[in-house]
Amino acid sequence: MALVAAGILLVAAHPALTRTPPARSARPAAPRAAVRVARAAALDPAGFWNSATVYFLLTDRFLDGDTTNDHALGRAQDGAPYRSFLGGDLAGLLRKIEAGYFDSLGVSAIWMTPFVEQIHGSVDEGTGRTYGYHGYWTRDWTAVDPALGTLDELRAVVDAAHRRGIRVLMDAVINHTGPVTPQDPVWPRDWVRTRPRCTYRGYSTTVDCTLVENLPDVLTDGDAPVELPPALVEKWRAEGRLDREVAELDTFFRRAGYPRAPRYYLIKWLTDWVRELGFDGYRLDTAKHFGETVSAEIKREADRAFADWKRAHPAQVLDSLPFYMVGEVFGWAPGAGRAYDFGDRSVDFFSFGYDGLINFGFKSEAHGSLDSLFTRYSATLHGGALNGVAILNYVSSHDDGGPYDQERRDPLGAGTRLLLAPGGAQIYYGDELARPLRVEGAVGDANLRSPMNWADLERGGRTAEILAHWRKLGRFRREHPAVGAGEHRTIQAQPLVFSRALETGGRVDRVVVALDQPAGAKVIPVGGVFADGTRLVDAYSLERGSVERGAVALTTPFPVVLLSERR
Ligand SMILES: [Ca+2]
Ligand SMILES: [Ca+2]
């Protein structure tokens, strides 16, 4: 929340990436073995996540798989347009996982909005009556919101994704509780501050304050012990689980030795989901609004929880990739290097538990020259300021009022830019179907959160063509980790032809991509990446060709060519 401001196991398990550094550049061609996947090899987290495609969805807006939970907790659909719970749920998400929707897009990980129990009431922050359909207004960190489904359904989602080699990222909120409403009492004064409001002029006015009016800020900085909030005690007693929750907390504090300060309760509750269900990582919400040392603590406990889950579920462990943490440092972009500048203080979040950060610059930078953008990103990720860490690019998101293409004028170009850029790619649900980002009646961020336009896809036509484009690119990314994690080299500037190469345990994954090509016959220079005589396949058209005199001639109706060695 930012108020301000593998694949299928047998055939497409994610290519293993070892710690071997990527090739500095494409080498002169020589006979070489086909790049094949070895799941068991040690994985380099930055390489994995820079090559990953993360699918981000608002569970409430994705698919309604069970209409019986649509009015859970007595919440009415009486909010402002697109500001009530609208029915989407875990059952719907499960259905799409099992239908292979994510596999067909080459998705490596699903990031769903927070599933924990939200405030029961609603508030108006100036954009109309709003419910916690988005998941960022927690009431109870230990329960699944019944509008989204049950604990069993959540477990089924994670298990089903894992069976397909798809990881699941939990969206974790520690900065604030939900707003106060007539049905949702404020947490005790030793748990939260309710003022001042952040003014975002420096570090303290970004951290030690409430993001907006009536969004209590958890006291994540102090070490003073606090008791459980009475409202939670009453709730858990009514649910018959008070004794168990209290005993678990006692065990946690005894083992860890932490003071009973608010943040450690939250860390216990957040990491329990990892320990119980096997989430593969966190997307940490509002990362710049609580002290960075807190994220390091979260990571330490999450690592422990993930190891516990793996020990208890050996048959479900995908591989040795460690727990992943990607942060929402709103406004950070790779051009800034590792640090985020608060004005009066600069913080290197990568040094505090984050393996990756969301890239808030891509959606603007993608309007410029792709040659320049790709070259710049590759240079910073390979030997530059961001060597060894991950970035997550996006063209639209739930919070970004200035997406790459709000009118969806160029959904194919958006896919090309996002899925071929160096770094991780975040597909925001519906990017691949040109889901409208401006909807009748919606105000502010509600425009970005319209229900998934499955009906457009069922009608076929243009929407199906757009999806086909995203699928080809997404599967190419999954098949070739060099696309996101390899080193970029421009072969020809106009029209753009480039290569990516990634060395993994002595083997090299190489691709050549050509954009803006004419329909019909085309000749693609491969710049010595592939030797003369090498047999290539274009993953976009499935046309085949061989390299002759440093180029391959193809006839395809498409402007995009995605070349790799034929196996
Ligand atoms: Ca439902
Ligand atoms: Ca804060």
Q: How far is the CA of 287 from the centre of ligand 2 (A)?
A: 9
CA atoms in the 13 A half-sphere facing the CB of 488: 27
- Report the pLDDT averaged over residues 27-51: 56
Ligand sitting nearest the alpha carbon of 175: 2
Q: Is 104 exposed, middle or buried (0-12, 13-18, 19+ CB in 10 A)?
A: middle
Q: Which residues pair with 55 in a beta bridge?
A: 110, 427
Query: pLDDT-based confidence at 283, cuts 50/70/90?
Result: very high
328 catalytically annotated: yes
Q: How far is the CA of 80 from the centre of ligand 1 (A)?
A: 19
- pLDDT value, residue 350: 98
Contact by Cβ (8 Å): 447, 393: no
For the record, the structure tokens of 453 come out as 């336009």
Q: How far is the CA of 29 from the centre of ligand 2 (A)?
A: 54
Q: What is the pLDDT of residues 99-153, one digit of tens each?
A: 999 999 999 999 999 999 999 999 999 999 999 999 999 999 999 999 999 999 9
Query: pLDDT-based confidence at 40, cuts 50/70/90?
Result: very low
Question: Which entry of 145, 292, 328, 399 is annotated as an active-site residue?
Answer: 328
Q: How many other β-carbons are positioned within 10 Å of the β-carbon of residue 398?
A: 20
Q: Report whether pLDDT(12) > 90.
A: no
- pLDDT value, residue 1: 43
- pLDDT value, residue 504: 84
Question: Which entry of 140, 217, 245, 285 is annotated as an active-site residue?
Answer: 285
Q: How far is the CA of 64 from the centre of ligand 1 (A)?
A: 5
Ligand sitting nearest the alpha carbon of 205: 2
Q: How far is the CA of 289 from the centre of ligand 2 (A)?
A: 4
Distance from C-alpha of 193 to C-alpha of 262, rounded to nearest angstrom: 12
CA distances from 423 to 42, 116, 346, 378, 563 (A): 20, 30, 23, 8, 19
For residue 503, give the nearest of 481, 474, 479, 476 by alpha carbon. 481
Choice between 378 and 31, residue whose per-residue pLDDT is larger: 378
Q: How far is the CA of 149 from the centre of ligand 1 (A)?
A: 8
Q: How far is the CA of 232 from the centre of ligand 1 (A)?
A: 26
SS3 label, residue 352? helix
- pLDDT value, residue 293: 98
Q: What is the pLDDT of residues 302-320, one digit of tens each?
A: 999 999 999 999 999 999 9
Q: Report whether pLDDT(159) > 50.
A: yes
For the record, the structure tokens of 271 come out as 């990491």
Q: Report whether pLDDT(13) > 90.
A: no
Q: How far is the CA of 383 from the centre of ligand 2 (A)?
A: 34
Ligand sitting nearest the alpha carbon of 91: 1
Ligand sitting nearest the alpha carbon of 133: 1
Ligand sitting nearest the alpha carbon of 64: 1
- What is the average pLDDT score of the chain? 93
Q: How far is the CA of 499 from the centre of ligand 2 (A)?
A: 43
Q: What is the pLDDT of residues 482-541, one digit of tens each?
A: 999 999 999 999 999 999 999 988 889 999 999 999 999 999 999 999 999 999 999 999
The pairing of beta strand 129-130 with beta strand 123-124: antiparallel
Query: pLDDT-based confidence at 18, cuts 50/70/90?
Result: very low
SS3 label, residue 475? helix
Region class of 264: left (phi > 0), else alpha (psi between -120 and 50), else beta: alpha
